[in-house]
Amino acid sequence: MQILNGNQVAKIIKEQISENVKKLNEKGYRNPHLTAILVGNDGASKTYVNSKEADCKQVGFNSSVFRFEQDITEDFLIEKIKEINQNPEIDGLIVQLPLPKHISELKVTQTINPEKDVDGFHSMNLGKLMKGEDTFIPATPFGILMMLEIYNINTSGKHCVVVGRSNIVGRPMSILMSQNSKFGNCTVTICHSRTQNLEKYLKEADIIIAALGKPEFVKANMVKEGAIVIDVGITRVEDKNNEKGYVLKGDVDFENVKNVVSAITPVPGGVGPLTRIGLLKNTYKSYLKSQNIEGFE
């Protein structure tokens, strides 16, 4: 059984990006720049945005964060996004989700310039992804693809069961796994909260991608022997014994499932660090394009 170590993969990719940025600086190019907008006080969102800033620093990117109160208007946020869209010094813009209920996530994501949409949430970018065109792959699916590639996991012809149909993870992931590409070519089943007999599908899967947001939902008896399990879940579960007051749990009962599978991602330290790399890679890609840089990947 192999543990798919996201931290290790993230370290390798960060070093590659960082070296390239240094070389480009030496050639006189400015640093890539990622901007995040954070609205309100959600604890997990704050943590994510702080981590993204730290990642940027590590690889030599500039980063900036606009922090706004929970009660800002949708119009105010839209105007701010339009300003950033116009700013030639900024390569990537993300608006951390979820947003307060009075602000339309759809309207907000559609306002971001698709060329700076490093989350890949704009319909134009999701449309390109569906057609197999070059685009910004949403960070988590992108991170999972990198993991499959680095561990050279053979996916061709395998039955991949994706649990969860969100626009951020499940749905793009299902499309990517079915695509005619080296780390695709799967037969894909997409399951969700209304799926009847979910356990039957899980048990038939060669590859499970669990993104349903229910801590330790996937148990050892639901998984086929030798399957590959990618756990996207990351839920804060109250734990008074822990100094933070919570522990992070994935969607998979890792301790028991690991004894059945051929490979599995842990939580934390699996998909999470790679999601953040997905964002860095997209920002870097946007930067190469905006600065007309050729010969770098």
Binding interface with ligand GUN (CB under 6 A): 94-97, 119, 139, 168
Pick the catalytic residue from 14, 96, 224, 251. 96
- H or E element, residue 64: strand 62-68
List CB contacts of 152: < 8 A, sequence separation 6 or more.
none
Q: Note if 110 is an active site residue.
A: no
CB of 59 to ligand GUN, least distance (A): 18
- Tell me if residue 119 is catalytic: yes
Q: Which residue lies nearer to ligand GUN by CB, 119 or 253? A: 119
Give the residue with the Cβ less far from ligand GUN, 96 or 290. 96
With 0-12 / 13-18 / 19 or more C-beta atoms within 10 angstroms meaning exposed / middle / buried, residue 100 is middle
Q: Which is nearer to ligand GUN, 121 or 254 (CB)?
A: 121
What is the residue type of 81?
A: I
- Contact between residue 98 and residue 88 where contact means Cβ atoms under 8 Å apart: no
Q: Annotated catalytic, 23?
A: no
Q: Which bin fits 292, alpha (ψ -120 to 50), beta or left (φ > 0)?
A: left
- Residue 129 sits at φ, ψ, to 5 deg, of -60, -40
For 129-140, letters b (16+ CB in 10 Å) and e give beeeeebbbbbb
Active-site residue, selected from the candidate residues 117, 119, 206, 251: 119
Q: Residues with catalytic annotation?
A: 52, 96, 119
